[in-house]
Chain A
Amino acid sequence: MNKKVFFLLLALLTAAVVIFLLPNDEKKIRRNLNLLADYCSSTSEDTAIAGLQKAAMAVKLCSDPCRVYIESFAITRDFNKKVLRDNLIMMKKMLPHTVFSFHDTVVELTETGRAVIVTTLSLSGKIADDRFTDAYELNIVATQTDGDWLFSAFTAVEFMEQ
Chain B
Amino acid sequence: MEPAYQNGSFALCWRLQYLFSSPQRSDIVTVRFSGRSVMLLKRIVALPGDTVEFRLGHLYRNGMPVEEPYVRHRSPWNLTSRIVKPGHVYVVGDNRGTVMERHRFGQIPVERIVGGVLL
Please tell me the number of chain A residues within 8 Å of chain B, measured between CB atoms: 18
Residues of the B chain whose Cβ atoms lie less than 8 Å from the Cβ of A157: 33-34
Residues of the A chain whose Cβ atoms lie less than 8 Å from the Cβ of B38: 103-104, 120, 122, 135
Residues of the B chain whose Cβ atoms lie less than 8 Å from the Cβ of A122: 38
Say yes or no: A120 contacts B112, CB within 8 Å: no
Say yes or no: A160 contacts B104, CB within 8 Å: yes
* B36 CB to nearest A CB, Å: 7
Say yes or no: B105 contacts A162, CB within 8 Å: yes
A35 within 8 A of B: no
Query: Of all chain B residues, which has the CB nearest A101?
Result: B38
A161 within 8 A of B: yes
Say yes or no: A161 contacts B33, CB within 8 Å: no
Give the bracket for the number of chain B residues in contact with chain A: 10 to 19
Residues of the A chain whose Cβ atoms lie less than 8 Å from the Cβ of B33: 103-104, 120, 135-137, 157
Q: Mark B88-119, 1 if CB is under 8 A from A, else 0.
A: 00010000000000001111110010000000
Q: A-side interface residues toward B, CB under 8 Å?
A: 103-106, 118-120, 122, 131, 135-138, 157, 159-162
The 19 listed contacts between A and B (C-beta, < 8 Å) are A103-B33, A103-B34, A103-B35, A103-B37, A104-B34, A104-B35, A104-B36, A104-B38, A106-B35, A122-B38, A131-B7, A135-B33, A135-B38, A159-B108, A159-B109, A160-B91, A160-B105, A160-B107, A162-B79
Q: B-side interface residues toward A, CB under 8 Å?
A: 7-8, 33-38, 40, 79, 82, 91, 104-109, 112
